[in-house]
Amino acid sequence: MTDQRATARTILITGCSSGIGKYCALALRDRRWRVFATARREEDVRHLQDDGLEALRLDVTEPDSIRIAVAEVLTRTQGRLDALFNNAGYGQPGALEDLPSEALRAQLETNVVGTHAVTRAVLPTMRSQGHGRIVVHSSVLGFITLPYRGAYNASKFALEGMADTLRQELLDSGIEVSLIQTGPVRSRFRENAEAMFHRWIDVDASPHRQTYRAVERRLAGAGDTPLTLGPEAVLAKLVHAIEARSPKARYHVTLPSHLFKALKRMLPTRALDRILLGATASERRP
């Protein structure tokens, strides 16, 4: 009997310990993709394996980890990889004037440099086979900004520019590059951001300390806004990006992503600033 894995389409996904990455890995497996789900911690890798996934350790900030994981994937697939979903990342909250350089460097190292490193690792295979799909998980904050999210804004703006450049450079290679620009989606993003906030921000020493009380309440809150969608909304765009004959360059997820893209096209910068600051007014009130 032919091993179905030998003929299945293959995808490598980073950042699968929970949330969107894990959901998409399980759902794509059910769509008969051969999924290689990766996570930084060995404990999370074991949990993914318990869920029936082919799981590997991959930390996007460790070059050796990337090299070993990609080599193992290609060994198991006889040198084939059809798609990559660059999903790993986190958000570093805090006013830019309060962020030490180490915090900004860590944010960019994971979200930007890590995405670049994993993409470079798979491109030779995709080039040699003459096809591939690279999907980059961006954000509504890749094209508009909000206060107290400067490090994350910077990382997602950089991802947008990197993905656009890569798409141009890979023209006629058979490799397609897509961005998924998400707004609020249920995941562990807020919990992870809260941990990074307390790691790097000295609230009591900051001129923003009154505002930070509201930031802390938001990060600690468990409730979703009415505009929050589940991870299945991201999955729908990911499926189109990796399965459609002509994938889009950009996919918007949630109403805020669609809305702010339209407002950015229509409004002067200062007018858009007023709207964005109004949307976060509660974070600036004592």
- Longest distance between any two alpha carbons in the chain, whole Å: 68
Q: Are 250 and 174 in contact (CB under 8 A)?
A: no
- How far, in Å, CA of 133 to CA of 136, rounded? 10
User: 19-30 and 232-243 are packed helices; what angle lies between their axes, rounded to 10 degrees?
Assistant: 50
- How far, in Å, CA of 211 to CA of 16, rounded? 33
Q: Is 278 in a helix, a strand, or coil?
A: helix
- Which tokens is 28 given? 């794509």
DSSP 202-229: -GGGSTTHHHHHHHHHHHH--PPPTT-B
User: Is residue 251 annotated as part of the catalytic site, yes or no?
Assistant: no
Q: Considering 23, 90, 148, 152, which one is annotated as catalytic? A: 152
Count the residues in the chain: 286
- How far, in Å, CA of 116 to CA of 54, rounded? 23
- Which tokens is 81 given? 């990889």
- Which tokens is 181 given? 């620009």
- How far, in Å, CA of 230 to CA of 115, rounded? 24
Q: Which residues participate in catalysis according to the annotation?
A: 152
